[in-house]
Chains A and B, each alone.
Chain A
């Protein structure tokens, strides 16, 4: 039988639920032109379109995994809606930093930028801590916190015996991550004091 290259929307949703990652590429390729033409006609370029579509797919993935998504319209409509919001938010952000308003609120901007730097440093530390975590723990935490899957789903995906095992593993992994992060923070503070 000739392969169906563009399966119906419901099939995509089912595949996301089953953690079939190949669907990511398929969705991207299917809606690439649609999102690209919208972004390009609204002052963006190819890279912006790619980024917006990626963000939209991530939103879709998270919503489906967390059980918050119900297919009431076509998938293309949903993705288009998300992409529009994302691109509008991006445009607003770009306007905000266009240079006109900066001169007026220069003091506030400075304090904000310090806070942002601290936040960025923290994020970088968490990223490093996550990288040091063993792959299984990282996957558990990703599935639970990022994809917002429930313990039952995680148990099925990772083939654990039951949800209690998953729950305790998740707890342990989070503790390990906290410990790594605490050490990293101490190291970082020590370096700052040395300087």
Chain B
């Protein structure tokens, strides 16, 4: 090893970085003992590398501090209200499900399925007992039809079926039993049926024929409230599966109190407010709103035409209405409601809100209408 070779091959650096093998190291150290220039050169290299490392450390400390700052600011940006909203959604779903469970309300699907799956249903003459004929089972060794007669007080070992539930209820008032009756009786707080429940056939037809029958206003609303809960659960569960991030990133309208309280009737101000009153999807009608404690007044106007609400005469049969909730200094989307309206010529919808699970829609002064309420999560809107 000589000085020229050492300098050319960068042996000083390799030695300092511990990159020499044992033989090279030995030879180099042996040379160092004799060569003052190389020793000096080694020292310069050592100082240089140490200096770079020292400087690197300082810079990295600064960088760590900077990154911590950035991370903290990012954490602050995490939209806690939306997270809380998601938690609230889960809570509501659980509440609805548990309420359904407690009141033992069967879903319409179950009811319809129950009706279809029932092979035969006989009504007793006096209503004191009901005979249920089961279908012939596969184990018909004797080739006989098995018939079960259920008497009052008979203990059932198997889980109660729909028919058995019917039987139990039948004992109390003696009315004819249908699954629809069970629903109507058990959920009397929710369903306030005006029609007599005497004939099961009429109610059966009412439930199985259409999801939202054209019925009187009061009953219609109640029915919708009932279906609302089920649909909400379905929509939220599917939307949450599909959406993920999108759900959390939903645009949240941010409208100040002053903007909200601007009069809507004037055309000029409407156009000014066009971009201020926000809704998630531009395809839907834009909305401006006023809010009091329990009542949300919604005024609709056409987004493209920019016309005053008064001239709204059935431009669309479908409306998308956001129901927003005041959350300190911004408006938070609470529910999204699809409203299909027929014979619609009102410019105003008043939504009375009694809590997160119940929404009642009234079109003032218009009795001849059909409202189909479906609740959708914001994600469903974005995907449309």
Contact = CB atoms under 8 A, between A and B. Distances in A.
Contact of A21 (B50, B61, B63, B72): B63
A105 B55 CA distance: 32
A148 B49 CA distance: 11
A171 B65 CA distance: 31
A126 B47 contact: yes
B56 A145 contact: yes
B60 A61 contact: yes
Contacts of B99: none
A25 B71 contact: yes
Contacts of B54: 123, 126-127
Nearest to B244: A1
Given A1-B244, A26-B71, A146 B56 contact: yes
A145 B54 CA distance: 10
Interface in B2-53: 10, 17, 44, 47-53
Contact of B63 (A2, A24, A122): A24
Interface in B67-126: 67-72
B351 interface: no
Given A22-B70, A58-B57, A28 B64 contact: yes
Interface residues of B, number: 30
- Of B10, B56, B59, B63, chain A has the most CB atoms within 10 Å of the CB of B56
A57 interface: yes
Contact of A123 (B51, B66, B70, B71): B51
A22 B71 CA distance: 8
B51 A122 contact: yes
Interface in B232-270: 244-245, 248
A98 B60 CA distance: 30
A80 B56 CA distance: 22
B44 A25 contact: no
A13 interface: no
Chain A interface size band reads 20 to 34
B47 A122 contact: yes
Contacts of B245: 1-2
A175 to B, nearest CB: 11
A57 B65 CA distance: 12
Contact of A25 (B10, B17, B59, B67): B67
Contacts of B17: 148
Given A2-B248, A25-B71, A29-B71, A130 B52 contact: yes
A142 interface: yes
A48 interface: no
A187 to B, nearest CB: 17
Nearest to A51: B61
A45 interface: no
Contacts of B71: 22, 25-26, 28-29
Nearest to A167: B10
B50 A123 contact: yes
A141 interface: yes
Interface string A37-65: 00000000000000000100110010000
Contact of A130 (B51, B61, B65, B72): B51
- Of B17, B50, B71, chain A has the most CB atoms within 10 Å of the CB of B71
Contact of B48 (A22, A23, A26, A177): A177
Given A1-B244, A28-B64, A147 B48 contact: no
B248 A25 contact: no
A9 B174 CA distance: 68
A2 B70 CA distance: 20
B44 A178 contact: yes
A60 B68 CA distance: 17
Given A25-B68, A25-B70, A28-B68, A145 B53 contact: yes
Nearest to A148: B17
Given A24-B67, A29-B72, A58 B60 contact: yes
A119 B56 CA distance: 17
B79 to A, nearest CB: 11
A16 to B, nearest CB: 12
B57 to A, nearest CB: 6
Given A1-B245, A146-B57, A24 B51 contact: no
A29 B68 contact: yes
Contacts of A57: 64
A103 B70 CA distance: 47
Contacts of B70: 22, 25
Given A26-B67, A28-B71, A122-B47, 12 more contacts: A21-B67, A22-B70, A25-B67, A29-B71, A57-B64, A122-B51, A126-B55, A127-B54, A127-B55, A145-B49, A147-B56, A177-B48
18 contacts: A24-B64, A24-B68, A25-B68, A28-B71, A29-B71, A54-B60, A58-B57, A58-B61, A126-B47, A126-B48, A126-B51, A126-B52, A130-B51, A145-B49, A146-B52, A146-B56, A148-B17, A181-B48
Closest 6 CB pairs of A and B: A126-B51, A146-B56, A25-B67, A25-B71, A1-B244, A145-B52
Interface of B: 10, 17, 44, 47-57, 59-61, 63-72, 244-245, 248
